[in-house]
Amino acid sequence: MTAPPAKATLKLPSYCYQCVAGPDLLQVRVEEGTAVAVEPNFCASEIHPGAGRVCVKAYGLVQKTYNPHRILSPMKRTNPKKGRGEDPGFQPISWEEALSLVAEKLNAVRASGLLDASGYPKVAASFGGGGTPQSYMGTFPAFLAAWGPVDMGFGSGQGVKCTHSEHLYGEFWHRAFTVSADTPSCRYIIEVGCNIEASGGVVGVKRHADARARGLKRVQIEPHLSVTGASSAEWVPIRPKTDAAFLYALIHVLLHEEPRGSLDLAFLRERTASPYLVGAHGYYLRDPSSEKPLIWDEKRGEAAAYDTPGIKPALEGSYRARAVEIGPDGERLDEGELLGETAFEKLLAHMAPYTPEWASRICDVPAQTIRRLAGEFLEAASVGESIEIDGERLPLRPVAITLGKTVNNGWGGFECCWARTVAASLVGALEVPGGILGTTVRLNRPMSGRIESVKPGPDGFMDYPFNPTDREHWSPRPNIRNAYRTLVPLASDGPWSQALGPTHFAWMFLDGTPQGLPEVTFPEVWFLYRTNPAISFWDTQSLSEKMARFPFVVAFAYTRDESNHMADILLPECTDLEGLQLIRIGGTKYIEQFWEAEGFALRQPVIEARGEARDFTDIATELARRTGLIEDYNRAINRGVAAGLRLKGENYDYSLAPEKAHSCEEIWDAICRAASAELSEGAESEGLSWWREHGFRTRPFPRLEWYLYPALVRQGLRFELPYEERLYRIGRELAQRLHERGMTWWDKQLAEYQALPAWRDFPALWEKSVVAAGGKPEDFPFWLVTTRSMQYAWGANAGSELMREAAANIAGHGGVVINARAAARLGIAEGDLVEVRTPRRATQGRAVLREGIRPDTLLMVGQFGHWATPFARDLEVPSLNSLVPMSIDLTDATGSGADLVRVGLSRLRSRR
Amino acid sequence: MTRWVMVADLERCVGCQTCTAACKEENATPPGVQWRRVLDMETGEYPDVRRIFLPVGCMHCDEPPCMDVCPSTATRQRADGIVTIDYDLCIGCGYCIVSCPYDARFRTDRARFAYGGRPNEAERKRFDERRLGVATKCNFCVERLDAGIAKGLSPGLDPEASPVCVNSCIASALYFGDIDDPQSGVWVLLSQKNHFRLHEELGTGPRLYYLWGSP
């Protein structure tokens, strides 16, 4: 791949997609062939909701490019022993030798079959979180598609440490892999642990600042005063993992203390399952012949199928109707004249005990505060208001509750996500202007069209691609090691599902597979790219030890790190400013990334590749050629695997000849032409040279498509809330399948499948884990939590000197944040070296004393604990990841855990 | 008469340090030297705590104490109010560093780079030996300003003529402009919103204004 000529000074467009809050469109200033600075791309200010500006991390790209610690030639391990204490003895080798070694292994795998005796793929691949590496790995996905089965379930945190319950339940309820406030229209936000100013990227920061300026009130509910809390109107310090209690009390106030008429009753009647009648066994009462759920028609005074035209559904009450009640596996539980309560009536009864006074004792938030916030939420919802969007009149409900990591994953995550979404539905603030929006889909199809993914499913709800739980189709033989298809119906079975299963199970089961699953094996070949699970996952010590037992590891390596320390081959690929790739931009994507434009952006080499670094596309092509897969590889590119863009459309055909190994530029030129054609409906065909000059191209994206509500109205569908009959049924079926195979180790998780989730003592689960690890709860009186660092999150920035310097200005980076008075009680002063310990592990760090943290909570920012990554290994920054255990008991039904742990704290020595 | 000022809206700033990083890159300052940075401060006691982010740097004071103490006349004030340092005149005595109430000045005696004593390619290209052993500080990106004005551009409006920290701010919390021009954005902001300056009691006339509270 050639860089532009080394003229005096150039400004070249590109993008940064180091984290899911991107992409940011930028320009790189290049002086005589050397990249010297990153600048905003103000040419994009009209189409980019962040006004073309770029995140702090992007300013580190120049330093990242010229980092002297980069791997600049292929390397081979010479020490066969692997382990933290072993020097890998990496020696430079030629690309020819490196690719031959990799291809030899791959060809041996192909010759003996792609699956092992347990049925698991012999090849595994792990990439960093949120799909961001895909914006840097060129056509490698096409190589993997050509290869066949690959286990992508060895996680590095994704699928487990993400906002996992939100991903799965969010997609189920409102096509919301990620949930955002409609910030541009919102007036009131309750953020429960959501650190949007650190995780929302440039767009999030800009939008929230604009919203505050026009009067939006944001209330921050979290154990420590984050950067988001700092710019919120109010901080409410809540006890960790009790968020569901707070949200339940909020709903209690809306249902039992506010006038019923202040809720959006029309929305509840027409767009939710609130009027569906529920029978004695907990399943919907159904019409005996059509088996459609019944509602009570107040107009005629009789039961009717939910979709009967011209009826007026009763929201409250109990009614008798001729009906059938059908349970799991199609079992007819009852038939005849049956008594049913409306789902809303059941919700009323369910939420009755959860008063603010009850919640206050659990979550340590005063009852009057909960009451006040519920009242503010209701008032701001402005039930009855409407707004015109793109010529269509929609409800305007400018209120949102947003959830953050650790709140919306792990035990309690389901309850929080359910409560948040129910609260929105009570005031009609779901998928309408001002309310909460799903901004992307990753499990439903098509991935690029959230609105198109709305299709009619059973019982008047949207369809959802559950993994089957019926006797005929459920399988105890997982396709990959983390068993997502067997254990997690909500994870579905698409390309993203592998990384959305219980990805810690792949690691855990290597040392003992639970009963009923085929023995979990080590993959014969493991590819690693833009991921460092030895740092970013939990129980990092054990994980590193397991990683050392992988027989053949190929790491696309930027610098040495803790995971590629165990590699056999290091391959240096062109990094951010050296590689070539075209990606889709705009439309609606992660978090706050919903735009009024959509199109494509190019990442291009702004300088010659350093050392022997090769473009990822060239590496992928060469691996395809050497493994005899070039035709399948080219066909995968032609059908859009690399860029999410088919090279042949209605009005154009830029397909690659399948039998030939094309150069990187040929491939991306074809993709650029297809992108030009797609955006112009075949009228234009600009290739790579045009895109290198202009960087991006878009067309308008209708704002109306931010909202799912119109699609549901058009199709006469309802949100599957508040009563979760389908989840309840699926849970019972899954239980029966597992028990039929003698598998009882998932029983605690099966209890999560509830029609109306009850509060459970979630904090106690973590206290019990202390006892299970041999400790006494009183010795571990603190909660240790973590928080997002905008400067470090993703992108291998722990080794960046510039990010270290910038981040050091923000309190907490580099130490253990402790409440000042709690520290004083333990004789700990600012800067003292302290030990933070669990019954089994301990770590050390410098005390950072702050007032903005609960006395029972400690905080470690970001993910550190490096011991191999140059520069980062000298920072001596403690990490929560080294302390959090991997445990089935702490895994919820979606296969997720949460980033917190009970710890003890003591002073080791003073600052001096 | 033009008088350049900067305005920081504390209701918008989220302490992300994008300005810090952008400034460092644009001005090629060595590790530890931050002409622009954002302080992270707390007031109050748990649970009644406020956390505030405060962008700071050279305030380009009307009456710069650094200039008064400069024995070599290296520190000067332009007609437009920008306080500059002539590296050829500066003797590195450090009086100005001590006299600055805003801790805005730096002196680096030996070449330092991100990863030790050797510069990377970008650092080598940007290295300016004249900056060793002398005082340095924010200059409101004066070269950009002058070049932009020469092209007929408007500082504070046209990014090419504006300080890099202002261009980079993802919260649009930083503004730049002529306080003597009633048409300028900064003039409008300061006439409509509550504002203050740091250590105003010292009488130096700092020209970094902070918007705070409503209106």
Interface predicted TM-score of the whole assembly (ipTM), two decimals: 0.97
This prediction's pTM: 0.97
Report, as an integer, the average pLDDT of A314-341. Answer: 98
Residues in chain A closer than 8 A to B45 (CB atoms): 851
Using the Cβ of B35 and the Cβ atoms of chain A, whether some distance falls under 8 Å is answered with no
Tokens of A157: 């945190």
Judged against a pLDDT cut of 80, whether residue A796 lies above it is answered with yes
Q: How far away is chain B from the Cα of A54, in angstroms, using its nearest Cα? A: 7
- Residues A36, B120: C-beta atoms closer than 8 Å: no
Q: How far away is chain A from the Cα of B159, in angstroms, using its nearest Cα? A: 8
* Residues whose CB falls within 8 Å of the CB of residue A422, separated by 6 or more in sequence, listed in order: A251, A347, A721, A722
* Residue A862 confidence (pLDDT): 85
pLDDT tier, A195 (very low <50, low <70, confident <90, very high otherwise): very high
Q: HSE on the CB side for A620, CA within 13 Å? A: 30
- Residues B25, A802: C-beta atoms closer than 8 Å: yes
* Residues whose CB falls within 8 Å of the CB of residue B103, separated by 6 or more in sequence, listed in order: B56
Residues in chain B closer than 8 A to A3 (CB atoms): none
CA distances from A19 to A99, A118, A186, A470, B106 (A): 29, 35, 25, 38, 34
Judged against a pLDDT cut of 90, whether residue A793 lies above it is answered with no
* Residue A635 confidence (pLDDT): 98
Residues A516 and A167 sit within 8 Å (Cβ to Cβ): no
- How many other CB atoms are there within 10 angstroms of residue A821's CB atom? 12
Burial class of A533 by CB neighbour count within 10 A (0 to 12, 13 to 18, 19+): buried
pLDDT tier, A418 (very low <50, low <70, confident <90, very high otherwise): very high
- Residues A237, B126: C-beta atoms closer than 8 Å: no
- Residues B115, A871: C-beta atoms closer than 8 Å: yes
Q: How far away is chain A from the Cα of B157, in angstroms, using its nearest Cα? A: 12
Residues A435 and A399 sit within 8 Å (Cβ to Cβ): yes
CA distances from A472 to A437, A486, A737, A866, B25 (A): 36, 13, 10, 48, 61
Per-residue pLDDT tens digits of chain B, which is 215 residues long: 899 999 999 999 999 999 999 999 999 999 999 999 999 999 999 999 999 999 999 999 999 999 999 999 999 999 999 999 999 999 999 999 999 999 999 999 999 999 988 999 999 999 999 999 999 999 999 999 999 999 999 999 999 999 999 999 999 999 999 999 999 999 999 999 999 999 999 999 999 999 998 65
Closest by CA to A561, choosing from A883, A134, A104, A553, is A553
Judged against a pLDDT cut of 70, whether residue A6 lies above it is answered with no
Residues A191 and A221 sit within 8 Å (Cβ to Cβ): yes
* Residue A910 confidence (pLDDT): 81
pLDDT tier, A876 (very low <50, low <70, confident <90, very high otherwise): confident
Report, as an integer, the average pLDDT of A853-869. Answer: 95
* Ordered DSSP codes for A569-621: EEEPBP-TTT--EEEEEEEE-STT-EEEEEEEEEE--SSPPPTT-B-HHHHHH
Report, as an integer, the average pLDDT of A603-610. Answer: 97
Closest by CA to B65, choosing from B97, B113, B92, B29, is B97
Number of H-type helices and E-type strands within chain B: 7, 10
Residues in chain B closer than 8 A to A50 (CB atoms): 170
Q: How far away is chain A from the Cα of B201, in angstroms, using its nearest Cα? A: 26
* Residue A3 confidence (pLDDT): 59
- Residues B24, A810: C-beta atoms closer than 8 Å: no
- Residues B21, A821: C-beta atoms closer than 8 Å: no
Residues in chain B closer than 8 A to A56 (CB atoms): 16-18, 20-21
- How many other CB atoms are there within 10 angstroms of residue A140's CB atom? 27
- For A225, which of B11, B32, B49 is closest by C-beta distance? B49
Task: Report the chain B residue with the minimal C-alpha distance to residue A790.
Answer: B16
- For B18, which of A59, A209, A210 is closest by C-beta distance? A59
Task: Report the chain B residue with the minimal C-alpha distance to residue A40.
Answer: B168
- Residues A231, B14: C-beta atoms closer than 8 Å: yes
- Alpha-carbon span A193 to A238, nearest angstrom: 9
**Is A267 in a helix, a strand, or coil?**
helix
- A740-749: pLDDT as tens digits: 999 999 999 9
- Residues A212, B11: C-beta atoms closer than 8 Å: yes
Best mutation target, B45, B113, B170, B211, to test chain A (most A CBs within 10 A): B170
* Residue A909 confidence (pLDDT): 87
Judged against a pLDDT cut of 80, whether residue A731 lies above it is answered with yes
* Residue A4 confidence (pLDDT): 58
Please tell me what DSSP assigns to residue A758. P
- Alpha-carbon span A408 to A370, nearest angstrom: 20
* Residue A912 confidence (pLDDT): 58
- Residues A205, B45: C-beta atoms closer than 8 Å: no
* Residue A747 confidence (pLDDT): 97
Q: How far away is chain B from the Cα of A832, in angstroms, using its nearest Cα? A: 20
- Alpha-carbon span B178 to A818, nearest angstrom: 44
Tokens of B139: 């200059």
In A385-538, where do the E strands start and end?
Answer: 386-389, 392-395, 399-403, 436-440, 525-529
**For tokens 């919640």, what's the residue?**
A359
**For tokens 């010297």, what's the residue?**
A36
Report, as an integer, the average pLDDT of A156-184. Answer: 93
Burial class of A117 by CB neighbour count within 10 A (0 to 12, 13 to 18, 19+): exposed
Closest by CA to A709, choosing from A446, A454, A432, A451, is A432
Residues A607 and A626 sit within 8 Å (Cβ to Cβ): no
Best mutation target, A10, A39, A365, to test chain B (most B CBs within 10 A): A39
- Residues B25, A213: C-beta atoms closer than 8 Å: no
- How many other CB atoms are there within 10 angstroms of residue A649's CB atom? 14
- Residues A36, B47: C-beta atoms closer than 8 Å: no
Tokens of A399: 């209120």
Report, as an integer, the average pLDDT of A887-904. Answer: 95
Domains of chain A: 75-162+466-557 (3.40.50), 178-440 (3.40.228.10), 761-909 (2.40.40.20)
Q: Point out which residues pair with A573 in neighbouring strands.
A: A614
In A211-290, where do the E strands start and end?
Answer: 217-221, 234-236, 277-278, 285-286
Report, as an integer, the average pLDDT of A830-856. Answer: 97
Best mutation target, A810, A856, A869, to test chain B (most B CBs within 10 A): A810
Task: Report the chain B residue with the minimal C-alpha distance to residue A872.
Answer: B115
Q: How far away is chain A from the Cα of B113, in angstroms, using its nearest Cα? A: 9
- A334-375: pLDDT as tens digits: 999 999 999 999 999 999 999 999 999 999 999 999 999 999
Closest by CA to A323, choosing from A345, A308, A339, A310, is A339
- How many other CB atoms are there within 10 angstroms of residue A470's CB atom? 13
Q: Give percent of chain A above pLDDT 70.
A: 99
Task: Report the chain B residue with the minimal C-alpha distance to residue A849.
Answer: B42
Beta-sheet pairing, A553-556 with A569-571: parallel
Judged against a pLDDT cut of 60, whether residue A2 lies above it is answered with no
Q: Which B positions 131-170 lie with beta carbon below 8 A of chain A? A: 159, 164, 167-170
* Residue A834 confidence (pLDDT): 97
Closest by CA to A504, choosing from A156, A830, A110, A889, is A156
- Alpha-carbon span A193 to A309, nearest angstrom: 43
* Residues whose CB falls within 8 Å of the CB of residue A493, separated by 6 or more in sequence, listed in order: A465, A467, A485
- Residues A237, B46: C-beta atoms closer than 8 Å: yes
Residues in chain B closer than 8 A to A42 (CB atoms): 159, 167
Upstream peptide bond of A240 is cis (omega within 30 degrees of 0): no
**Is B71 in a helix, a strand, or coil?**
coil
- A680-710: pLDDT as tens digits: 999 999 999 999 999 999 999 999 999 999 9
Say which amino acid occupies A603.
Answer: R
Closest by CA to A344, choosing from A422, A405, A291, A417, is A422
Residues A297 and A304 sit within 8 Å (Cβ to Cβ): yes
* Residue A8 confidence (pLDDT): 82
- How many other CB atoms are there within 10 angstroms of residue B26's CB atom? 24
- Residues B114, A802: C-beta atoms closer than 8 Å: yes
CB–CB contacts below 8 A, A to B:
162
- Residues A850, B42: C-beta atoms closer than 8 Å: yes
Closest by CA to A239, choosing from A361, A356, A355, is A361
Q: Which B positions 54-113 lie with beta carbon below 8 A of chain A? A: none
* Residue B117 confidence (pLDDT): 83
Residues in chain B closer than 8 A to A811 (CB atoms): 40, 42
- Residues A806, B21: C-beta atoms closer than 8 Å: yes
- Alpha-carbon span B164 to B149, nearest angstrom: 15
- Alpha-carbon span A814 to A875, nearest angstrom: 8
- Alpha-carbon span A662 to B164, nearest angstrom: 42
- Alpha-carbon span A128 to A529, nearest angstrom: 7
* Residue A160 confidence (pLDDT): 75
- Residues A51, B172: C-beta atoms closer than 8 Å: yes
Domains of chain B: 4-211 (3.30.70.20)
Q: How far away is chain A from the Cα of B64, in angstroms, using its nearest Cα? A: 26
Q: How far away is chain A from the Cα of B56, in angstroms, using its nearest Cα? A: 12
Task: Report the chain B residue with the minimal C-alpha distance to residue A222.
Answer: B47
- A268-302: pLDDT as tens digits: 999 999 999 999 999 999 999 999 999 999 999 99
Residues in chain B closer than 8 A to A855 (CB atoms): 46
Judged against a pLDDT cut of 80, whether residue A670 lies above it is answered with yes
